[in-house]
């Protein structure tokens, strides 16, 4: 028994020795390999790395898909034209899955491991908790976010999405100065979005506001409410809402022979609103920042369809523009964060997939056109 045990101990000692030897050799080889890789990395340092945080899974996955397809298209275009000052761009896309926590780990990976110079991304919920990190690391960032407080207290972040205030302003100007109509009534949906639209419209419209009436988000019968507003005889009615209830509201307005010009936010042109309103939706005007009649937009759509076999969404345009804007900033400022921010902050008449862009107060200003539903 004793002898056996000794033997066992001996053999164990032997294996331990062999293992430690192997580990040593392993470490040595890895070290040498890493050294060479680093060297070759140095040779490839020519590429400029841009990080992207998009929701590729979860309930906003389609948005993320559009964003990344648009962004990749921009990268391909820039690289095929020789890149930025002779250096190619590399887009590193990370999935946030609409989860702020995953967004933070994506940020850490992109900034600390991959050492990206700039960042693009989408969703306010993911972007809000990243604000501090972006500022601390001084990463010029272009984000697709509608949150009103997204830009407060930041220096390196730009917003790449027209806010509802911009839309409302365009609409209000069109009604007051182009159509020369000044007596308006407001019908707004009783949710967060509807209330904020109403407040913005009230703040900006120069004419007289005859009434402000809430309507129920799940309502189906607005007739009695509509008699009240018909009495006041408005020239224009601003409908701050979207979805099926808004469709029914428009239908019943026309059934009740309310002849006022109807207008609303971009959501009023949604498929479900159109469907429920039927032919009553005809003639409703709304603001839009992707104008199909523009050459650039037509071209983008064609190219996108040929590449991805699907129609581009709004987010495809935004993703594309984000990369293009950053590329311009990098080109003019040669990877210096402060300079990139400065260049972009004063950007004027930048040619993009949606037409001319300006940047004012760190917000990308889109040309907003007023469209009529036919």
Partner 1 sequence: MIALQLLINSLIAGAIYSLVASGFSLIYSVCKFVHFAHGAAVAFSAYFLYFLFSKLNLSFGFSVILTIIFASLLGYGMDFFIYKQFRKRKASSATLLIASFALLIFFESLILILFGADVKTIGFIKIAKGLEFFGAIITPLQLFIIFTAFVLFGFLFFFMKKTKIGKAMRAVADNKEMAEVVGISSERIYSLAFVVGSAIAGVAGILVGLEQNLEPMMGTNLMIKGFTGAIIGGIGSVPGAILGSFLLGFAENFGIWFLPSGYKDAIAFIILFIFLLFRPQGILGIKKVMNEV
Would you tell me which residues interact with partner 1 (CB under 8 A)? 190, 213-216, 218-225, 227-228, 231, 244, 247-248, 251, 254-257, 271-272, 275-276, 278-280
Give the C-alpha separation, 203 to 197, whole Å. 10
| Torsion sign across C-alpha atoms 109, 114, 115, 120 | negative
Q: If DSSP codes are grouped into helix, strand and coil, which group holds residue 105?
A: helix
CB of 276 vs partner 1, minimal distance in Å = 5
Tokens for 36, please give them: 């060479």
- Would you say 130 or 187 has its CB closer to partner 1? 187
- The sheet with strand 157-159 has its strands ordered as 89-95, 48-54, 118-122, 141-144, 157-159, 363-365, 355-360, 350-352
CB of 227 vs partner 1, minimal distance in Å = 5
CB of 280 vs partner 1, minimal distance in Å = 5
CB of 213 vs partner 1, minimal distance in Å = 7
- Would you say 248 or 370 has its CB closer to partner 1? 248
CB of 229 vs partner 1, minimal distance in Å = 10
- Would you say 4 or 231 has its CB closer to partner 1? 231
Give the C-alpha separation, 278 to 122, whole Å. 34
Give the C-alpha separation, 243 to 35, whole Å. 59
CB of 243 vs partner 1, minimal distance in Å = 9
Residue of 356, 351, 333 lying closest to 343 (CA atoms)? 333
115, 299 contact by CB (below 8 A) = no
- Would you say 68 or 276 has its CB closer to partner 1? 276
- Would you say 244 or 358 has its CB closer to partner 1? 244
| Torsion sign across C-alpha atoms 293, 297, 303, 307 | negative
80-101: b (≥16 Cβ within 10 Å) or e = eeebbeebebbbbbbbbbbbbe
- Would you say 76 or 213 has its CB closer to partner 1? 213
Strands (E), the chain: 48-54, 89-95, 118-122, 141-144, 157-159, 183-189, 208-215, 236-240, 261-263, 285-288, 350-352, 355-360, 363-365, 369-372
CB of 279 vs partner 1, minimal distance in Å = 5
- Would you say 272 or 296 has its CB closer to partner 1? 272
- Would you say 1 or 271 has its CB closer to partner 1? 271
CA dihedral 159, 160, 165, 168 (to 10 degrees): 170
CB of 284 vs partner 1, minimal distance in Å = 13
Q: How many CA atoms lie within 13 A of 293 on its CB side?
A: 6
């Amino acid at each position: 028994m004793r002898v056996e045990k000794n033997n066992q101990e001996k053999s164990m000692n032997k294996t331990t020795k062999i293992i430690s030897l192997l580990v040593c050799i392993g470490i040595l080889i890895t070290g040498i390999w890493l050294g060479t890789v680093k060297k070759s990395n140095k040779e490839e340092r020519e590429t400029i790395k841009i990080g992207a945080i998009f929701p590729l899974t979860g309930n906003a996955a389609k948005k993320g898909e559009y964003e990344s397809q648009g962004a990749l298209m921009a990268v391909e275009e820039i690289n095929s034209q020789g890149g930025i000052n002779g250096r190619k761009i590399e887009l590193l896309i990370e999935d946030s899955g609409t989860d702020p926590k995953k967004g933070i780990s994506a940020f850490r990976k992109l900034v600390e491991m991959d050492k990206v110079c700039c960042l693009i991304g989408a969703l306010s919920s993911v972007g809000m908790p990243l604000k501090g990190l972006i500022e601390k690391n001084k990463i010029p960032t272009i984000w697709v976010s509608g949150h009103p407080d997204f830009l407060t207290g930041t220096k390196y972040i730009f917003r790449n999405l027209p806010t509802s205030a911009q839309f409302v302003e365009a609409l209000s100007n069109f009604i007051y100065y182009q159509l020369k109509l000044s007596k308006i009534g407001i019908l707004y949906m009783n949710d967060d979005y509807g209330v904020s639209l109403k407040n913005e419209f009230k703040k900006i419209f120069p004419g007289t506001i005859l009434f402000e009436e809430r309507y129920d988000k799940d309502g189906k019968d607005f007739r009695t409410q509509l008699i009240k507003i018909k009495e006041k005889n408005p020239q224009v009615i601003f409908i701050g809402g979207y979805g099926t209830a808004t469709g029914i509201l428009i239908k019943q307005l026309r059934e009740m022979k309310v002849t006022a010009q109807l207008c609303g936010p971009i959501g009023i042109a949604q498929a479900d609103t159109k469907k429920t309103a039927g032919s009553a939706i005809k003639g409703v005007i709304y603001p839009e920042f992707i104008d199909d009649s523009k050459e650039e937009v037509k071209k983008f759509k064609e190219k996108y369809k040929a590449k991805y076999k699907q129609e581009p969404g709004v987010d495809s345009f935004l993703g594309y523009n984000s990369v293009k804007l950053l590329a311009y900033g990098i080109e003019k400022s040669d990877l210096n964060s402060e300079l990139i921010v400065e260049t972009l902050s004063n950007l004027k008449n930048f040619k993009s997939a949606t037409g001319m862009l300006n940047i004012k107060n760190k917000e990308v200003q889109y040309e907003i056109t007023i469209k009529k539903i036919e």
